[in-house]
Amino acid sequence: MRWLAWSLASCRQRNHSARKVLSSSRAAALGGAIGGQVCAHALVRHGGAFTASVLAISVATCLLWYLLVFVFGRHETSVGSDGVLVSGLLRSQFVPFTDVESAVVEFTGKLVLRTRTQGTLVRRMKGPAAEAAAELIQSAITSAPSGSEAIRQQLRREHEGDVGEWLARLRSLASHEPYRAVVFGGDALWRVVDDPGATGAERAAAAVVLGAVATPAERARLRDAASRLASPRVRVAIQRVADGAGPGVERGAEEEDELAVAMEAIAADSAA
């Protein structure tokens, strides 16, 4: 994949997908340094008596080492409307904005992300990308409260033992027109979907309520909201809601099961 140069203007646009940039971890940098020492040792251990075979083996060893460091040490860092996702070859790590304490660039291209529960994450990338990512993250975690706390409390899974009961209650909220007009009127639910302070479960739950009576235009808006998310699980769940059956159409069993599994996983993540 190629490097993506970010501009602060594009980062501030509302209709954008999660911003992605290639980065490397502190472990990759350490691996590269160790590799340099190993390669240097391999080249000089024969007292300077280089033969074609010794040189070929040493160069091949160095190239293999750096290839392994490049493949396993490279990450893709995505900043969405909900948090930061660091994707590597072997594992991915999602950090919601609610868990981020600060994001700063300590040196050119060195993004330092300090979290409450996942320690300190260090990512190295191109200078402009690091600066833009830090500003975007800081803007999200210091943004004024959206006023959606009361609504988010209504959306949480609290007493339902089964995820199907939770989904049924959420959809019932959309069917009570007078109640919805007071509690969920206007763009209240949409604010939850885009609120940096909302949990993944609250965000997905708001999408379920919206999807229960969504028009084609509103389903397109849900897909757009999903594309701005960094969390893979929440993004997939909202996409399933957007692509699901419309009002008055019975949902297929497979479709409902897939959504239930996604919501169960999201609820477990939010409770952790």
Closest CA to 215 of 259, 246, 187: 246
pLDDT at 44: 56
CB 98 within 8 A of CB 149: no
> Alpha-carbon dihedral of residues 130, 139, 188, 199, nearest 10 degrees?
60
The answer to whether 206 touches 173, Cβ cutoff 8 Å, is no
**Residues 197 and 146 sit within 8 Å (Cβ to Cβ):** yes
- Let me know: does 90 contact 127? Beta carbons within 8 Å: no
Structure-token pair, residue 261: 């599994």
Instruction: Give the per-residue pLDDT at 14.
Output: 42
* Rounded alpha-carbon distances, angstroms, from residue 87 to 25, 170, 232, 242, 254: 11, 32, 11, 25, 29
Return the CATH architecture of domain 8-141: Roll (2.30)
* Coil, helix or strand at residue 95: strand
Domain residue extents for the chain: 8-141, 149-271
How do residues 157-201 score in pLDDT, each as one tens digit?
A: 877 778 999 999 999 888 756 555 556 666 889 999 999 999 999
Per-residue pLDDT of the chain (272 residues; tens, 9 = 90+): 333 333 333 343 444 566 665 555 555 445 445 555 555 555 555 555 556 665 676 666 666 655 555 555 567 899 999 999 988 777 789 999 999 999 999 989 999 999 999 999 999 889 999 999 999 999 999 987 777 888 898 899 877 778 999 999 999 888 756 555 556 666 889 999 999 999 999 999 999 999 998 999 999 999 999 999 999 999 999 999 999 866 655 667 788 899 999 999 999 887 77
B/e letters for 117-129, b = 16+ CB within 10 Å, e = fewer, are: eeeebbbbbbebb
Question: What is the pTM (predicted TM-score) of this model?
Answer: 0.73
**In the numeric block, which tokens belong to residue 202?**
């609250």
Give residue 252's pLDDT: 72
pLDDT at residue 250 in the model? 63
Full strand arrangement of the beta sheet holding 120-124? 92-96, 83-87, 74-79, 19-25, 120-124, 110-115, 100-107
> Can you give the pLDDT at residue 52?
67
Give the pLDDT of residue 211.
Answer: 92
Could you tell me the end-to-end alpha-carbon distance of the chain, in angstroms, rounded to an integer? 33
